[in-house]
Amino acid sequence: METWDVVIVGGGPAGLSAAIYAPRAGMRTLVLERALPGGQLLETPAIENYPGFVEPISGFELADKMRSQAERLGAEFRTAEATALVRADGVWEVRAGGDVFRARAVIAATGARPRELPALGAQEHVGRGVSYCAVCDGFFFRDKAVLVVGGGDGAFTEALHLSHLARRVYLAVHRPRGDPQAVRAKAALQEKVFSDPRIEVLWGVEVAEVRGEQGVESVLLRDVTSGAERPLPVDGVFVKIGWKPNTDWLKGAVPLTDAGYVRTDPLMRTEAPGLFAAGDVREPATRRAQAVVAASEGALAALSAEGYNRAF
């Protein structure tokens, strides 16, 4: 069985960036992706903040360009979903169904997926008014009314970002006002949100339904205490109720946080020798879920894998 210098698991911006840097460092590189390369980029119709593109570029087109660049440099791609990672005879074995891929180094770049809004019509309106990233899509809601759902740092940060763009920002917090567990955001973020006249906090409510024909036109809010429902006219819904990292395949190979993320040092090295991680699969800490951030981490992971291979 052939042994690759590095196997990159995941084809989002972190994995694709690693796939560009790894072959340039002389490593035989294989990328495993369960679907089309691109990850969450594929859900973004227009990206305006990726360096080097004067005009907006679709997430699909950006991912396609990154893959083509990686292939030109020598990276190979296979469609496969990793199910386990095992250390055997001094190398890693990435198991994907009935296939096994051996590698001296592995870069985990399988990302994380946002926890979906459990409301009627929410899934159908993704990309048509329902978004999981205000930095990505907030610009399209200039001078409009939007609703942010969540009570943590992410939701409060999204609300503040949108308050500079939207005409009105509503922030739906699930727990009632006065509940000590209602808000998990840092005190500094709370102070900014509560003092911003463009943000209105809606306490003790949940989104029961997202409504609209061509796009979002309103949401149906339900009071979590009384069960009473009322419509709220909005043009967009931004969801920040948590993330779920795609790390089931890493269980047993490296310690994970309680939330399932991978811990790394600043050079993307994990506790396990020859195993690196980049992108949204890493412990969040202070990182932002942005393509350019993931790409930089993918480059660092590849460079660290190069150093590991040299000492192998």
Q: Active site includes 258?
A: no
Instruction: Write the CB contacts of 197 (distance below 8 Å, at least 6 apart in sequence).
Output: none
Q: Is 49 helix (H, G, I), strand (E, B) or coil?
A: coil
Written as one string, the DSSP assignment of 220-257 is EEEETTT--EEEEE-SEEEE-S-EEE--GGGTTTS-B-
Q: Find the catalytic residue in 5, 89, 133, 153.
A: 133
Beta strands in 72-224 (DSSP E): 76-79, 84-88, 91-96, 99-108, 112-114, 130-131, 145-149, 168-173, 199-203, 205-211, 218-223
User: Looking at 5, 89, 136, 235, which residue is catalytic?
Assistant: 136
Residue 104 CB coordination number (10 Å) = 20
Largest Cα separation within the chain, whole Å, is 64
Q: What is the DSSP pairing of strand 84-88 with strand 229-233?
A: unpaired
Least Cα distance to 249 among 284, 279, 286, 277 occurs for 277
Rounded distance, CA 48 to CA 259, Å?
Answer: 31
The one catalytic residue among 137, 153, 235, 280: 137
Burial (CB count within 10 angstroms: exposed 0-12, middle 13-18, buried 19+), residue 208: middle
**Is 133 part of the annotated catalytic residue set?**
yes
- Does the active-site annotation cover 143? no
Return the active site residues. Answer: 133, 136-137
